[in-house]
Amino acid sequence: MLVNELKKSFLISLWFMFLTFPIMVIRVNTVENIIQWRWANLFFVGIGSFVLSALWRYLIRRKEQGIKKTEVDGVARVTLSQRLLRERRFTIPALIVIAIVALAFPFVFSLYQTNIMITALIYVLLGLGLNIVVGVAGLLDLGYAAFYLVGAYSYALLNYHFGFGFWTVLGLGAGMAALFGIILGFPVLRLRGDYLAIVTLGFGEIIRLIMENWNEFSFGPSGIANIPRPGFFGVEMNFEQVTVYVYFLMIALSLFTIFVVNRLQNSRIGRAWIALREDEVACQAMGIDKRKTKLMAFALGATWAGFAGVVFAAKTTFINPASFTLWESINILCVVVLGGMGSIVGVIVGAFILILLPEYLRFLSEYRILAFGTVLVLMMVFRPGGIVETVRRTYQYEEADH
Amino acid sequence: MDMEPILDVKQLTMDFGGLRALDSVDLDVSQGEIVALIGPNGAGKTTFFNCITGIYDPTGGDIMITAPKNGRTQRINGIKPNLVTEKGLARTFQNIRLFQNMTVLENVMIGCHCRMKAGILGAVLRGISTRREEEAVIQKSYSILKKIGLEKYVNEFAKNLPYGAQRRLEIARAMATEPFMLLLDEPAAGMNPQETRELDELIVKICETEGISILLIEHDMKLVMSLSDRIFVMDYGKKIAQGTPAEIRKNPAVIKAYLGEEIDA
Amino acid sequence: MEYFFELFLGGLTRGSIYALIALGYTMVYGIVQLINFAHGEIYMIGAFTALIVISVLTMMGWNQIAILLIAAGVAVIYSSAYGYTMEKIAYKPLRQAPRLSALISAIGMSLFLQNYVLLAQTSDFLPFPGLIPDFEFMEPYAHIIGSPELVIIITTTIVMISLTFLIKFTKIGKAMRATAQDRDMAMLVGVDVNRVISMTFIIGSATAAIGGVLIASHIGQINFYIGFIAGIKAFVAAVLGGIGSIPGAVLGSLILGWTESFFTGYISSDYEDVFAFIFLVVILIFRPAGILGRSTAEKV
Ligand SMILES: Nc1ncnc2c1ncn2[C@@H]1O[C@H](COP(=O)(O)OP(=O)(O)O)[C@@H](O)[C@H]1O
Ligand SMILES: [Mg+2]
């Protein structure tokens, strides 16, 4: 048994040493015409793949057993996170602590930290928005950053040309993004799921490239600078005060988002989204208009990208198309996938992990995207529900109700 | 029987590439009837259902429905499945298509969807009318489950139900759309004799007490013969016979199509 | 007129290269109904492996033709090995999972491979030697078509024909077709579906590697990101032709190659890369099954 496992691991590690040999070991310097042989890497790959392959097989076996077990028992396992989230004894104190930390944060920590927090909150908004589309309705949108862009440019351009203020555009920008969601969604939403992913990716890139090339309209790659920060009834604020103000604005906006998304999920429409994700054909046969329901998810998701875009433009005071690449869309997708598709708490946790960890582990920043890729694969293979698996509030019927 | 049929299908034809799965099939169902559609595997019965319910767009023919409520007759060829359901035809699937990760109650609530109104704003504000509607839908769904005999599973996930119960849940879900006619695709498939007997009673009850007419595809001849007012028989995409159970039993074309299979149960 | 021919042949060359990549997409999609997002990365790894082999052998003073052949061979072997391993890690455990999961896993794999090469090698563009010699007999036509282009077109044609032969007449080809039609049924009649899927990934990756070597030596430089744009374009080509159809992939690639070539030649090169996307969106909306694909109603 053990010998067998060791043999397997050994063979796999040989395989990986072979596989990574040219790229990991040899490096060619074409300028000076020398070849570097990095034999140490081969050793690391060997050891690493030996250990990881054993771990991989163990986890796969455990997963398979888990599936079998639920099949036999007929009951779905309730995970620890799910139990904790259901337990009022635990959630209420936790909420209080979170509220206190959130309120005190900008006064305790530095401006720099507060700014990072604002970024994290922007991703909470983006994540919750995308979660409606991907997590709840099951539509893989790889062009989500385009709606983020629409929000940001709405503010920048409306302000530049017409002097519109932040608060006016906050609603307008979200509306514009929703409109774009509907315009783009109309033709693409009849496509099969995987085509949808590619087409939204295409749309996202088209919009970004147009902004990059259409200088007269968008000022091209150089972007738009000097976008005013949000105002507060005309009160003059210094940089520090504005940051704190934006921070609380984001807290408020996040709470608003959580409230709305939660209500939507637990409504007739939210139910239809979940059913659509489960089985489109059956859903239509039950009288649900597939196009309309998908379009609603798409437009609502876009709305939140619009909000986030406006805040982003106001916070950084400078935007250009480079902030809204495909990579940005994937980043937001990671937030949703890591946290837990369809789970509000999950997405919030995901946003904080993905934004804060890289900030505090800067020495690992080179490996960031590598890690994201790994996370996406590993999450899908071992924990498709994310860190915080959905605790969807199911409708319960109690006899005492009537 | 001089009333206009509530479902009147004429010359229905469906081609898949070169394959003619339905060839000029006629079929009609009147208010209050239980009609069976039988035929060997691959005869085109499910395709027939798919055409009527808007899942396929038929190549030719007419599908006319007359809602008993207002007596209006309309042609429904090629309209979307959700509109067919809204007009009052609901169906079940041969290979069970429940929303597996939703509870039994939620499955039935989805069936109520097209009879509800709440939009995005209603969902977010959750005003009195929305709350009332949700409450009413829960009650309605529960009472349907009770009629079908599934109330003990109400809060279970659909995927955890025993097979027979899943089949019945499909019926419950379809009933929640408030149809005037139910199309059942092999509702007894995979059921044991006890469950089949219960299903027999259930179908009669739905027809008689709810006033819902029934068109069903079934292989269990005993069930078909005891339930149906009339039977249509298909083979290779064509209708080969129609009549009362007694007539069908004696029909030579049917006996030939079913050669070797038991038809007089 | 000469300019037209130049653009025509340029489009043909482009299209041939897209075709070599598009084949992998189409084959994998045909068999496992998955858009293998990381396919472009396999192509990129093929190009990198070739560059490394070439550099090493050049410093050892080998003959140019020999280097070209060995580099291409090694690239094919390595790309296939990566394709095979990738399937085992990122897709096989997800066969029963919802399609969304497999798609996300594929995106993850693509990010991983890009950054693996970025970190282990470099983020800079590396010069890639033009390996294909100028044939003497081509001299009179040199102003219209160079030898490299000719080699690319011929190689693509050969690959295409052998692939068609493989799928039509060999045992594994038959098994592939059976699996594409109905996986469960194929399994029931004794097809080793796991092997078929692995073979599909291997063959698709091998053709991508050939594409990688040819295009790299044609364009003259590579970096870790080349797989992405090439991958997207090849995907567009596969969809245009009708995903799952091998002649479709070739046809789609040629159409895309020509359209791009004429568009940039006669109109503007500003939106060259947008063009493929617009193409994609338009096809999917008006003819989602592609040119040679048959639109099938999902069986219910
Ligand atoms: N979407 C489809 N595409 C191609 N052929 C189909 C499709 N749906 C059904 N068919 C074919 O139509 C014929 C009738 O099938 P079906 O209606 O399922 O038969 P039954 O329900 O009577 O057993 C079969 O030959 C089947 O393969
Ligand atoms: Mg059938």
Structural domain includes residue A399: no
Residues A199 and A265 occupy one common structural domain: yes
Q: Judge: C108–A376 Cβ closer than 8 Å, yes or no.
A: yes
B48 inside 8 A of chain C by CB: no
- Strands, E assignment, A180-334: none
B152 inside 8 A of chain A by CB: no
Structural domain includes residue A173: yes
How far does the CA of residue B140 sit from the closest CA of chain C (Å)? 29
Residues A148 and A290 occupy one common structural domain: yes
Type and span of the H or E element at A51? helix A39-73
How far does the CA of residue B185 sit from the closest CA of chain C (Å)? 11
What is the rounded average pLDDT of the residues B209-226?
92
Q: Judge: C294–B46 Cβ closer than 8 Å, yes or no.
A: no
Round to whole Å and give the CA distance between A307 and A317.
Answer: 15
Best mutation site among B16, B20, B41, B238 for ligand 1, i.e. most ligand atoms within 8 A of its Cβ?
Answer: B16
Residues in A closer than 8 angstroms to C111, CB to CB, are 330, 369-370, 372-373, 376
Structural domain includes residue A277: yes
Which positions ≥6 away from B124 have C-beta within 8 Å? A260, A263, A264
Query: Bigger pLDDT: A401 or C211?
Result: C211
Residues in C closer than 8 angstroms to A22, CB to CB, are 48-49, 52-53, 74, 78
DSSP chain C: -HHHHHHHHHHHHHHHHHHHHHHHHHHHHHHH----TTHHHHHHHHHHHHHHHHHHHHHTT--HHHHHHHHHHHHHHHHHHHHHHHIIIIIGGGTTS-HHHHHHHHHHHHHHHHHHHHHHS-SS-EE----SPPPGGGGGGTTT--HHHHHHHHHHHHHHHHHHHHHHHSHHHHHHHHHHH-HHHHHHTT--HHHHHHHHHHHHHHHHHHHHHHHHHHH-EE-TTHHHHHHHHHHHHHHHH-TT-HHHHHHHHHHHHHHHHHIIIII-STTHHHHHHHHHHHHHHH-TT-SSPPP-PPP-
Atom of ligand 1 nearest to the CA of B94: 21
- The residue of chain C nearest to residue A336, with distances taken between CA atoms, is C104
Structural domain includes residue A387: no
> Is 0.80 surpassed by the pTM of this model?
yes
Query: Bigger pLDDT: A181 or B70?
Result: A181
- For residue B30, what are its two tokens? 């009147």
B119 inside 8 A of chain C by CB: no
Highest mean pLDDT out of A82-86, A228-232, A305-309, A354-358: A305-309
- For residue B84, what are its two tokens? 């067919």
Residues in A closer than 8 angstroms to C287, CB to CB, are none
Could you tell me the domains of chain B?
1-88+179-265 (3.40.50.300), 102-174 (no CATH)
Q: What separation in Å is there between the alpha carbon of C126 and the centre of ligand 1? A: 56
pLDDT digit string, tens, across residues A127-160: 999 999 998 898 989 999 999 999 999 999 999 9
pLDDT averaged over every residue in chain B: 90
Residues A143 and A48 occupy one common structural domain: no
Q: Poorest-confidence range of A61-75, A368-382, B45-59, C260-274? A: A61-75
- Strands, E assignment, chain B: 7-16, 19-29, 34-38, 60-66, 73-75, 89-91, 181-185, 213-217, 230-235, 238-243
Atom of ligand 1 nearest to the CA of B50: 17
Nearest to B50 among C294, C296, C300 (CB): C300
Query: Bigger pLDDT: B112 or A363?
Result: B112
Q: In what order do the strands lie in the sheet with B73-75?
A: B19-29, B7-16, B60-66, B73-75
Q: Which pLDDT value is given to residue C139?
A: 67
Q: Using 50, 70 and 90 to split pLDDT, how confident is the model at A401?
A: very low
Number of domains in chain A: 2
How far does the CA of residue A377 sit from the closest CA of chain C (Å)? 4
Atom of ligand 1 nearest to the CA of B43: 22
Structural domain includes residue A143: yes
Atom of ligand 1 nearest to the CA of B44: 17
Q: Judge: A296–B120 Cβ closer than 8 Å, yes or no.
A: yes
Please report how many Cα atoms fall inside a 13 Å half-sphere around the Cα of residue C256, on the Cβ side.
Answer: 37
Q: What separation in Å is there between the alpha carbon of B185 and the centre of ligand 1? A: 13
Minimal CA–CA distance to A103: which of A251, A231, A257?
A251
Q: Which pLDDT value is given to residue C151?
A: 86
Residues A149 and A54 occupy one common structural domain: no
Query: Bigger pLDDT: B261 or A146?
Result: A146
Ligand nearest the Cα atom of residue C297: 1
Residue with the nearest Cα to atom 17 of ligand 1? B44
Residues A30 and A175 occupy one common structural domain: no
Structural domain includes residue A337: yes
C297 inside 8 A of chain B by CB: yes
Q: Judge: C300–B93 Cβ closer than 8 Å, yes or no.
A: yes
pLDDT digit string, tens, across residues C187-198: 888 899 999 999
CA trace torsion C268, C269, C270, C271 (10° rounding): 100
Q: Judge: C239–A198 Cβ closer than 8 Å, yes or no.
A: yes
SS3 B65: strand
SS3 B235: strand
Residues A35 and A135 occupy one common structural domain: no
- The residue of chain B nearest to residue A277, with distances taken between CA atoms, is B99
pLDDT digit string, tens, across residues A159-175: 999 888 888 899 999 99
Best mutation site among B25, B46, B49 for ligand 1, i.e. most ligand atoms within 8 A of its Cβ?
Answer: B46
Q: Which pLDDT value is given to residue B47?
A: 95
Round to whole Å and give the CA distance between A144 and A204.
Answer: 7
Q: What separation in Å is there between the alpha carbon of B45 and the centre of ligand 1? A: 8
Which positions ≥6 away from B237 have C-beta within 8 Å? B14, B20, B21, B22, B23, B25, B43, B44, B47
Structural domain includes residue A179: yes
- For residue A122, what are its two tokens? 């922007």
Is the model's pLDDT at A9 over the cut of 70?
yes
- For residue C296, what are its two tokens? 């099938």
Residues A140 and A207 occupy one common structural domain: yes
Q: Which pLDDT value is given to residue B1?
A: 44
Residues A52 and A176 occupy one common structural domain: no
Q: Among A50, A73, A96, where does a domain finish?
A: A73
How far does the CA of residue B231 sit from the closest CA of chain A (Å)? 25
Q: Judge: A23–C45 Cβ closer than 8 Å, yes or no.
A: yes
Residues A113 and A228 occupy one common structural domain: yes
Residues A165 and A299 occupy one common structural domain: yes
Structural domain includes residue A253: yes
How far does the CA of residue C67 sit from the closest CA of chain B (Å)? 51
Q: Judge: A380–C104 Cβ closer than 8 Å, yes or no.
A: yes
Domain enclosing residue A266, as ranges = 109-382
pLDDT averaged over every residue in chain A: 86
Other C-beta atoms lying within 10 Å of the C-beta of residue B32: 15
The tens-digit pLDDT sequence of chain C (300 residues) is 778 888 888 899 989 989 999 998 889 988 888 888 899 999 999 999 999 999 889 888 888 888 888 999 999 999 999 999 999 999 999 988 888 888 889 999 999 999 999 999 988 888 888 877 776 676 666 666 777 888 888 988 999 899 989 988 999 999 998 888 888 888 888 899 999 999 999 999 999 999 999 888 888 889 898 888 888 888 888 888 888 888 889 999 999 999 888 888 887 776 777 777 777 778 877 877 777 776 666 676
Residues A155 and A50 occupy one common structural domain: no
- Parallel/antiparallel/unpaired status of strands B34-38 and B213-217: parallel
Residues A13 and A160 occupy one common structural domain: no
C283 inside 8 A of chain A by CB: no
- For residue C71, what are its two tokens? 């580099």
Please report how many Cα atoms fall inside a 13 Å half-sphere around the Cα of residue A193, on the Cβ side.
Answer: 21
Q: Using 50, 70 and 90 to split pLDDT, how confident is the model at A111?
A: confident
Q: Judge: A285–B126 Cβ closer than 8 Å, yes or no.
A: no
Please report how many Cα atoms fall inside a 13 Å half-sphere around the Cα of residue A155, on the Cβ side.
Answer: 36
**Ligand 1 pocket at CB < 6 A:** B 16, 19, 21, 39, 41-47; C 296-297, 299
How far does the CA of residue B96 sit from the closest CA of chain C (Å)? 10
Is the model's pLDDT at A108 over the cut of 50?
yes
B55 inside 8 A of chain C by CB: yes
Residue of C284, C296, C298 for testing the chain A interface, max A β-carbons within 10 Å? C284
- Give whole-number Cα distances, A87 to A92, A266, A393, in Å: 9, 19, 13
Best mutation site among C182, C296, C299, C300 for ligand 1, i.e. most ligand atoms within 8 A of its Cβ?
Answer: C299
